[in-house]
Structures are given as structure tokens and as C-alpha cells.
Amino acid sequence: MKHKTDVFAVRISLVAVALAVAASALSQTIWRDVDHEPLPFGNDRELMEFMRTAEVVAERVIGIGINRSVKVTLEQDGVRSHAIFREVDVRRDVASIKGESYQLFADSYLFECAAYELAAMLEFDRVPPVVLRTIGNRRGSLQIWVEDTLDEESDTFQPPRNLEWVTQIWDMRFFDNLLYNIDRNAGNKLVTSDYRLWLIDHTRAFQFRFELLDDRMVRVPRESWERLLVLTNEVLSSALADYLTPIEIGGILKRREIIVTHIEALIAERGEDGVFY
């Protein structure tokens, strides 16, 4: 028994180290400039530094109402890219959304950064890089624009490998359950020309709910699952304290336990190979 305990402790330690590495290095995704050519950045952190410091040379409102967004053009040293700026930050003791009542409701640009950093810790490479940015006198989140997207509702939308597409939907359900993101819709799922799914607009995530948001979460990515298991309040607070309240961070851990119970029941029924991929 002691040997098994020691092995598990070492495994937790190794995964915890990997969490820190993932949060600092992140993906090697090739993002595109305004001309749809590759941006000259080696990783997400280099791109994010550009997003923090590049000049905003153009703006165009692309939404309406309190949740309106602004598409901006960034330029620095001859490099130009598009990004989306969100500045919504609404908090209410109680709010009714689509017939559902939410206590401690929040709709905030800060959640964009929290979603990205949490995804990085899980090595869940489906959230485009995002930073905090002040434009003029407006404080908000600035996220890289996803170029060359497809219309998922078009008759011509036909992923070449159906299982790979379904797997990406499973990824989305796993992530949305953890965040309790109540605003996933066609407009905040983006698909690039290689049929890769990207998840955006998380301003209504991290709600004060401790239950499964979507019980169709029947399969989960093994690597993200293992990283989820070793998340602690200390790790989350260190990474997310600038974006989430202690209550919101605690909510992640409470939903993690609910997800664990749900997945363990599925494993007991189907076996690990029927749940993990």
C-alpha cells in the first residue's frame, strides 16, 4: 500500500510541475495576421506580449447593447493583426437569464482571461490567447481574432473525420461543465478551415452553480482529466486571483468534484477505455 501511495504522490508532483510548464509555454498554434499570413511569434506568450503593447490603429463595433464587442486592428514593427475587445463587467445579486435564476450573477471581461489560463493549466488548447488591456479609458479583455473560420451551420460544413469532430464537442462539454459557462452558442464556437474548434466569449462563465451544466459529458480527454485531478486552491489562486474572486475559484473546485463523481460512475459502467480518449 505504501508503494502505491508513493507512486501516486510522485505522479501528482510530476503533473503539478507540468501544469506550471503548460501555463508558461502554452501552444505552438500558428495565428494569422490581417492578410491571413502566419504571425511571427513562437508561442502564445510572445503573441500576448504583442497584444499588450501594439498600437490600436483601428476599431469597429461588432456587437450591440451592454455586451457589445469591438474588433480592433493592432500594429507594431510592421506586424498587423485583428483582435476582439470586450469590456462588459456586470454583477448582480440575482439575475434571470433565459428563465433561469442565478445568484451572484456576473458577466465580466475578466472571465475571458480566467478561461484562457485555466485551459492552459489543463493543456486544453481550444481557447485563443487573451490579455487584459486598456484602450483609451476603457479597461477590458483583448483576444486574438480567429481568422479563416467556417460556417458550422452551412450545408457545406462537413468535417472530413467525424470522430475527430465529435471528440472536439466532447472537449467543449468537459470545459463548459468545469466553468459553468451558460452562454455557449453558435456565435462563440469558431471553426477554422482545418476543422479545428475554438471556444470564445466566456464572459458568462464561472457562475455560482455547483451541478453539471450538461450531462451529455460522456467522454473526456485523459490528459486534461489527470491535470484537473491535481488542481488545488493554491494553484488556482496563484494563476487566477487577478480575474476571479475566492468564491469563483472555490466554485471551480466544487464543480471539479461533481465532474469526478460523474466520470467515475461512467468508468464503473463502461471502463476507462469507454470514457477517456
- With cell 440575482, the residue in question is 94
- Whether the pLDDT of residue 243 is over 80: the answer is yes
Question: pTM of the prediction?
Answer: 0.90
Average pLDDT estimate for 160-184: 97
**φ, ψ for residue 19 (rounded to 5)?**
-60, -45
pLDDT of 65: 58
Q: How far apart are alpha carbons 209 and 144 in whole angstroms?
A: 29
pLDDT of 8: 41
Reported as a single tens digit per residue, the pLDDT across 132-155 is 999 999 999 999 999 999 999 999
- Whether the pLDDT of residue 246 is over 60: the answer is yes
pLDDT of 68: 80
- Whether the pLDDT of residue 24 is over 50: the answer is no
Q: How far apart are alpha carbons 15 and 149 in whole angstroms?
A: 34
**φ, ψ for residue 186 (rounded to 5)?**
-60, -30
Grid coordinates representing 242 are: 487577478
Reported as a single tens digit per residue, the pLDDT across 41-92 is 999 999 999 999 999 999 999 976 567 899 999 999 999 999 999 999 999 9
Reported as a single tens digit per residue, the pLDDT across 176-193 is 999 999 999 999 999 999
Q: What is the 3-class SS of the chain, one letter each residue?
A: CHHHHHHHHHHHHHHHHHHHHHHHHCCCCCCECCCCCECCCCCHHHHHHHHHHCEEEEEEECCCHHHCEEEEEEEECCEEEEEEEECCEEEEEEEEECCEEEEEEEEECHHHHHHHHHHHHCCCCCCCCEEEEEECCEEEEEEECCCCEECCCCCCCCCCCHHHHHHHHHHHHHHHHHHCCCCCCHHHEEEECCCCEEECCCCCCCCCCCCCCCCCCCCECHHHHHHHHCCCHHHHHHHHCCCCCHHHHHHHHHHHHHHHHHHHHHHHHHCHHHCEC
- Whether the pLDDT of residue 121 is over 50: the answer is yes
Q: How far apart are alpha carbons 113 and 263 in whole angstroms?
A: 27
